[in-house]
Structure 1
């Protein structure tokens, strides 16, 4: 049947009468609706290139107030290790704990901990029983967090399988402090905060005064997005090199695999088969970058609720791999 003016008029009228149909086809609106329907989600920012496509905070304290990023702290700690190696404060990833910070090792430490390298620590392959999960409470109640972590029973060889343990990254943080002569807070402000133009508030210290290495850091969602953008852009931000590009590249090469999510794990960053480089924190805190797709993402969530790989975190991965990656 030939198209008449009446058909065109009726079609236009139908479109105007159902504007939701047009909106539903917009990929950013579709992402917004899907994300805001997640009851645990506090804030989400998505950037493609230089354009922020989505910035919403349906719950929590908003986009400009600091949120506890939980174990995303481990990934930022890994970046600080990269700066220490670049400056020669720690010779290399193969440097041993017994050489970098022998004073941290207690007399009754588990055999072999002096031989642990910075690589073993940052990739969570120390071989010692973990201090996370059910062991977390006893560890943070101890008088010396570093010594406690280094006294844990050996359940794998140095450099063996990934054993998720905040005690391992806390030892790494203390080694960084010993090697540089600066607190982790000062290192984070000077080497990440200042070049990225973000504030990094002070955070929890252990009984010996070492800042928590791998937990309890806080960033605003906008600051998290700046970190994601820097990771996406090979260590650069606003034309300035924050991290050497070879460190970013090395961070994105899997050296082990998470026994929980199945994701690869590089130098402190999770790596997905679809090309995402991720920092992941309890409750659903995420700093994610996808260099090929030119995407940077920050997500904060209720820090009191779990986000298991087969639960809410899996839902967030579906969000990253589905409507967010579709924006590339």
Structure 2
């Protein structure tokens, strides 16, 4: 009996030592997984959204040697009275308003500041769209009507085999992908765990096999479509999205700080939502689009792509929004307005008629509640009208 106890004790000690060794070996992966599980918790969300590289793999986006392109300040403007209440209710962390290319309002909240590089979430999708337009103009991508498997052969035999680049830009791939952020077992959250544990996003996309409609037939917001756009960009050029975006978009804009992307385990940028930069630098991008793709006299994004990507082209039949090439277009309201839009209250709102760009960052845990998004858009319109 004593020998059995000694054997049992040694066995438990061996298991404990093994657990310690595995814990040390996988410490980074475990840390990232824990970060995913607490990313949106009430006490951590604001800090997390300004420090994503503290918990996830990341890579700098080169900003080049260009001098910073100053955003000029115009006359300081008082915004409508109800803006203060809206900022508080929606856990806004940054609000910046441009009128005629000048900053007329800028403020930061909840302990954040102008130097914070904030997570874009799906604002990043519109940046990738800009890059596609540039590559089309350069001839590196021949046409958006080409099949995605031409440039991303890893997708052969899977759900994306019949889809074209146009269809994935339009979120009309017909691929089954559950985007429920509140369901821990949804595809979007499984994808988040792949990212946290150092897996490969390309493998995740290639493993999808189910479709609910023929490509181009039905619109359904499917974030993994944007990753496939990134696969096409990489396959067409033989270069990373990080390098290309830095060279062709970021460097010409003269950003204040080098942005960074969250990445998977092999360094592939999380293009569907992993871009991080300051609020002012998001504003530079919005202003460049407002100006038809130009910045300080230089054409950055082809004007025809800016125009084509920000008008309705997707087969949307329901809801408050139409969709272009990774840009949202309200179905009613100010003619010509469009926006980049991300979860938890990230927006780049563009009103060409009034020459207004509004950028917000937020940590709004109620962002999915009924009517919240519509309230945000109405607030942007109220601000724009007041200027």
Tell me which interval the TM-score lies in, with the shorter structure as reference length. Answer: 0.7 to 0.9
Structure 2 Cα separation of the partners of residues 202 and 300 of structure 1: 17
Equivalent residue for 2:165, pick from 92, 97, 118: 118
1:4 maps to none
Residues 1:137 and 2:196 aligned together: no
Note the C-alpha offset of 1:40: 0.9
Residues 1:168 and 2:225 aligned together: yes
Note the C-alpha offset of 1:49: 0.2
Note the C-alpha offset of 1:72: 0.7
2:30 maps to none
Note the C-alpha offset of 1:236: 0.8
Structure 1 residue matching 2:211: 3-state secondary structure:
coil
Structure 1 residue matching 2:262: 3-state secondary structure:
coil
Change in Cα spacing, 1:312 to 1:149, as seen in structure 2 (3 Å) is same
Structure 2 Cα separation of the partners of residues 260 and 291 of structure 1: 25
Equivalent residue for 1:59, pick from 98, 110, 118: 110
Structure 2 Cα separation of the partners of residues 52 and 35 of structure 1: 20
Equivalent residue for 2:241, pick from 164, 169, 184: 184
Structure 2 Cα separation of the partners of residues 131 and 205 of structure 1: 21
Note the C-alpha offset of 1:91: 0.5
Unpaired runs of 5+ residues, structure 1, are 1-25
1:312 maps to 372
**Normalised TM-score (structure 1):** 0.83
CA offsets, 1:60-105, max 9 Å, x none?
5222221001111111111111111111110011121122222x22
2:67 maps to none
Q: What's the RMSD between the two structures over aligned residues?
A: 2.2
Q: Give the conservation status (yes or no) of the 8 Å contact 1:131–1:166.
A: no
1:76 maps to 127
Structure 2 residue matching 1:226: 3-state secondary structure:
helix
Structure 1 Cα separation of the partners of residues 265 and 115 of structure 2: 31
Change in Cα spacing, 1:31 to 1:190, as seen in structure 2 (3 Å) is farther
Unpaired runs of 5+ residues, structure 2, are 1-76, 181-185
1:146 maps to 202
**Normalised TM-score (structure 2):** 0.71
Residues 1:91 and 2:145 aligned together: no
Structure 1 Cα separation of the partners of residues 294 and 89 of structure 2: 32
2:348 maps to 287
Structure 2 residue matching 1:155: 3-state secondary structure:
coil
Structure 2 Cα separation of the partners of residues 53 and 200 of structure 1: 24
Change in Cα spacing, 1:137 to 1:189, as seen in structure 2 (3 Å) is same
1:256 maps to 314
Equivalent residue for 2:299, pick from 218, 222, 241: 241
Q: How many residues get paired?
A: 297
Structure 1 residue matching 2:311: 3-state secondary structure:
coil
After TM superposition, the structure 1 stretch with the greater mean CA deviation from structure 2, 151-160 or 253-262, is 253-262
